[in-house]
Amino acid sequence: MNIRTVATTPFNDQKPGTSGLRKRVPAFQQPHYLENFVQSIFDTITVPPNATLVLGGDGRYYNREATQVILKMAAANGFRRVLVGAGGILSTPAASCIIRKYKTHGGIILSASHNPGGPDGDFGIKYNGTNGGPATETVTEAIYTASKKITQYRIADAADVALDRTGDHKMGDMTVSVIDPVEAYAELMESLFDFDAIRALLKGGFRIKFDAMHAVTGPYAREILVNRLGAPADSVMNAVPLPDFGGGHPDPNLTYAHELVEIVYGKHAPDFGAASDGDGDRNMILGKGFFVTPSDSLAIIAANAQCAPGYKQGLAGIARSMPTSEAADRVAKALGIPCYETPTGWKFFGNLMDAGKVTLCGEESFGTGSDHVREKDGLWAVLFWLNILAARKQSVETIVREHWTKYGRNVYSRHDYEGIPVDAANGVMKLLKDSFASLKGAQFGHLQVKLCDDFSYTDPVDGSVSTGQGVRILFVDGSRIVFRLSGTGTEGATLRIYLESFEPDVSRHHLDAQEALATLIGITLQISELRKRTGRDKPTVIT
């Protein structure tokens, strides 16, 4: 097998965001673009002798082509074996599961998560470390530094691998093992949850509807929910992964999963609804005509963790991203365990889990997970909810309302302004930071500002410091407004605004979140000058 060394020059836009490098497909199709970034990964991680790599993606457009390129580059860079999902498919949590199970030298995941796919859609690539989690900021920064200096990459002259045929294939000295993408993950889920109890729940007439959104979790949901748990076949909708996600936006929220929302809010609604995203790491949970916020979902899973066999030993701690509501904090306090507040990005949870400090973690952006892998995990959250429902024999809404009665309700919402001009988004953030001094102590009706800052985080495990993680406006009564620029988009800027207030009064728990947060919304628009600066009169998405 001939190995070529190809001369190249750097691209100036290969800085990874919170979840790897994401660009439009045409950017990755440029000559040398993908190869440069992959070589930068390999040059950074220093491939040891006899190393194994995991490789797979969410099946979006360009997934297969990129997989073949990476296999040839892995052979040229000294890997002895690559475990690749059949068809080039691996959900992100399944990839993490396989990295950990086989103790590989990390893995490369091809995904742009919840972003749209297709020839003009988004594509992404990221490296996950040996613990199965996203590369640390130190590693991603080193990859970016390498990408700015790269002069050559190595690639093998080899035939494409038959990705649809499981088994071993030789590529020079390297073995390509095409594996069932679902099996190891499904076995892990069966070890964590009471499948017998969930089977009995479903057999007793409890109806579910899972929307795979034509993304990667279709095969996983069919194997676990239908084949192993006995749900009717039509319990899983949009189950066939498509390169363009069927023309949809594979983001499991009330706006983009509208087909599922119409079903669970309509006549003859199922008892439980759920959806997952492009690469399978996010989830949305719904009851019959009832939406569970991701923040509440994390808190309720924590409060009911002992319903699941894999968590009966109790929780070491909980972690949440800073913009996520403080509902989980209240559960942690009641349980007598720590709750850590981190920046947005799953990599920050990895250190805490590896150190044994936390068991559960979650983000308001529809991501929930535990130390079973080092990624957020959509189907895991769905199965946890089904386990809780089977144990408590109550509806989703009843469980949530009883939780609010016990702990109080953290009324919460996120407003996304997507695709706004970068200069306008940066202008809003600068205005807010420049206003810290005048805002502190300011009175807005019954609300008084206690503190304004740009959130920073010191990792309690390795001491690393992350700054500039989001503007916080904190009020004396515990209410919060948070502003962040998202690092997951590829076009323009996405400004996310998070609103939270605490409501202990059970008689007010029925209020719609937007109604209950109306005062905070008004303050947000006033202090940010958002409408004037962006030209937007309403958010793109409200969750």
Reported as a pLDDT band with limits 50, 70 and 90, residue 230 is very high
Average pLDDT, the chain: 95
Name residues whose C-beta falls within 8 Å of residue 292's C-beta, 6 or more positions apart in sequence.
285, 286, 300, 396, 400
User: Angle at CA 174, nearest 5°, toward 168 and 177?
Assistant: 25
pLDDT digits (tens, 9 = 90+) for 496-515: 999 999 999 999 999 999 99
pLDDT, residue 346, reads 85
pLDDT digits (tens, 9 = 90+) for 253-290: 998 999 999 999 999 999 999 999 999 999 999 999 99
pLDDT, residue 137, reads 83
What would the mean pLDDT of 226-250 be, rounded to a whole number? 96
Q: Do domains 185-407 and 409-542 have the same CATH topology?
A: no
* Proportion of the chain above pLDDT 70, given as a percent: 99
Q: Other CB atoms closer than 10 Å to residue 476's CB: what's the count?
A: 13
pLDDT, residue 487, reads 57
Separation CA 320–CA 322 (nearest Å): 6
Residue 334 pLDDT > 80, yes or no?
A: yes
111 is catalytic: no
Does an H or E element contain 170, and which? strand 167-171
Q: Which of 103, 121, 108, 5 lies closest to 66, judged by CA?
A: 108
CB 214 within 8 A of CB 241: yes
CA distances from 76 to 71, 79, 81, 139, 475 (A): 9, 8, 12, 22, 56
pLDDT digits (tens, 9 = 90+) for 465-483: 989 999 999 999 999 999 9
β-partners of residue 454 are 471
Residue 221 pLDDT > 70, yes or no?
A: yes
Q: Where are the domains of the chain?
A: 2-181, 185-407, 409-542
Reported as a pLDDT band with limits 50, 70 and 90, residue 134 is very high
Q: Among the listed ranges 66-70, 202-206, 416-420, which one has the minimum average pLDDT value?
A: 416-420
pLDDT, residue 138, reads 87
Fold classification of 185-407 is: Alpha-D-Glucose-1,6-Bisphosphate; Chain A, domain 3 (3.40.120)
pLDDT, residue 104, reads 98
pLDDT, residue 345, reads 83
CB 236 within 8 A of CB 218: yes
Look-up of token digits 């034509």: 214
pLDDT digits (tens, 9 = 90+) for 12-53: 999 998 779 999 999 999 999 999 999 999 999 999 999 999
Separation CA 433–CA 452 (nearest Å): 8
pLDDT, residue 491, reads 67
Residue 363 three-state SS: strand
CB 121 within 8 A of CB 27: no
pTM: 0.93
Q: Phi and psi (nearest 5°) for 483?
A: -120, 130
pLDDT, residue 77, reads 97
β-partners of residue 449 are 475
* Proportion of the chain above pLDDT 90, given as a percent: 93
Residue 193 pLDDT > 60, yes or no?
A: yes
The architecture that CATH gives domain 409-542 is 2-Layer Sandwich (3.30)
- The yes/no answer on whether domain 2-181 falls in CATH 3.30.70.270 is no
Residue 411 pLDDT > 60, yes or no?
A: yes
* Burial of residue 452 (number of CB atoms within 10 Å: 0-12, 13-18, 19+): buried
User: Which residue is catalytic, options 113, 276, 365, 370?
Assistant: 113
Q: Which of 313, 323, 523 lies closest to 410, judged by CA?
A: 323
Separation CA 381–CA 356 (nearest Å): 20
Separation CA 326–CA 410 (nearest Å): 7
CA distances from 530 to 145, 179, 372, 418, 525 (A): 35, 49, 41, 13, 6
β-partners of residue 369 are 361
Residue 397 pLDDT > 60, yes or no?
A: yes
CB 203 within 8 A of CB 229: no
pLDDT, residue 474, reads 97
